[in-house]
Amino acid sequence: MNFYTPKQMAEKWGVSAQLVRRYCKEGKIKSAIQHDGGWLIPEETAKPNAPDAERHELPALVKKILYQHKRNNHFGIYEYIQVNLAYSSSRMASNRLTRQQAEEIYRTNRISPAFEATKVDDIVEMKNHFICMKYVVEHICEPLTVTFIKHLHYLLTYGTYSDQHHKTGVGEFRIKSDKMGIPPQKINKALTDLIKNYEKKSANYEKLSVDLDRILDFHVQFERLHPFDDYNGRAGRILMMKECLRFGIDPFIIDDKRRGAYNRGIAQWDEDPSILQNVAQEAQKRFQNKLEVCRLMQYHRPANDSATR
């Protein structure tokens, strides 16, 4: 009898390795055995019956992204999301790397000289963003939790100047008051309540249709909490991408040219939600145009070229 690791079984069942390990710990896989601190599962084991929230068909775009991610394919929609979300979101946070440099770092782990001096932090932030989005893709269908969001922040900030000089809490809520967010002692409860309310409404994938407005509202409330010392915007925009993919909503990437309208949309969400809605819907159209280009490239690509799918 052959045995699979949780990671191998996760690929076979089309779920995350974290979920398989959870099934093992909870005793849902009766045939699983512990060995050397890990789990081994007989290859013929059937997938346990999942709760309603886990039993759903992956959106076609998510399947494509997971396929390209696992095979490290270039020139596909997964790379487009990685490079353009990292570049656009970081640019909004004053990162000065060019899109070409971001693409070069992603593909080759190198960077060409620029006309101006390059901050080391800009490079570290870009690399961290790629790692963070990779983690999100691997956990795309999992619900939001405080722990998940803290880990995203940790991945975004690890190794930066602020981390090394202890200027910000890496993966931890801020402990000082600022003008942008709520008092630090209220952050944990406020974020827990925000997630609970969001996930309560989003508890059943098969019966509940999550719309763009709900994701935008969560983003606005998250930004207003301002739970971390820094990187709140980048973390929030990554979460929007995750939730769009999770619920089969057209994803979007807000670029630096729309920064003014995006910030106004957050500030005036309660009075006029159409500002942020228009920014997101316009970005959705640009993303859909890119998807169509990818489809055309795939159609005209030689049969033996599997760079995209």
The full DSSP string for 183-216 is -GGGHHHHHHHHHHHHHHHT--TTT----HHHHH
For residues 178 and 86, state if they share a domain: yes
- Whether residues 73 and 38 share a domain: the answer is no
The crossing angle, in degrees rounded to 10, of helices 212-225 and 274-300 is: 120
pLDDT of residue 1: 61
Q: What is the pLDDT of residue 208?
A: 47
Q: Are residues 215 and 262 in the same domain?
A: yes
User: Domain containing 192: what range?
Assistant: 60-300
| Contact call for residues 232 and 223 (beta carbons, < 8 A) | yes
* 50 in any annotated domain: no
CATH number for the domain including 88?
1.10.3290.10
The answer to whether position 305 is within a domain reads no
What pLDDT does residue 250 have?
A: 94
What type of residue sits at position 147?
A: T
Distance CA 87, CA 71 (A): 22
Residues 6+ apart with CB under 8 A from 247: 59, 202, 205, 209, 210, 215
Residue 202: pLDDT band with limits 50, 70, 90: very low
Residue 292: what residue type? E
Asked if the structure places residue 38 within a domain, the reply is yes
48-65 pLDDT tens trace: 865 544 445 688 899 999
pLDDT of residue 297: 64
pLDDT tens per residue, range 242-298 = 999 999 999 999 999 999 999 999 999 999 999 999 999 999 999 999 988 877 665
Position 35 in a domain: yes
Alpha carbon 90 to chain centroid, angstroms: 14
Q: Which of 120, 129, 131, 101 is nearest to 161 (CA)?
A: 120
180 inside domain: yes
Residues 11, 110, single domain; the answer is: no
Total structural domains within the chain: 2
Measured distance CA(46)–CA(10) in Å, rounded? 12
Same domain for 266 and 126? yes
Q: Are residues 163 and 90 in the same domain?
A: yes
Evaluate whether residue 309 is within a structural domain: no
Distance CA 130, CA 118 (A): 19
- Say whether pLDDT at 163 is over 60: yes
Residue 174 included in any domain: yes
Q: Are residues 101 and 186 in the same domain?
A: yes
Are 112 and 182 part of one and the same domain?
yes
Residues 184 and 77 both lie in one domain: yes
The answer on 30 and 133 residing in a single domain is no
Quick one: 10 and 97 in the same domain?
A: no
Tell me, yes or no, whether 53 lies in a domain: no
Inform me whether the pLDDT recorded for 179 exceeds 50: yes
pLDDT above 50 (res 93): yes
Whole-number average pLDDT of the chain: 87
Entry pTM: 0.77
In this structure, the answer to whether residues 101 and 237 fall within a common structural domain is yes
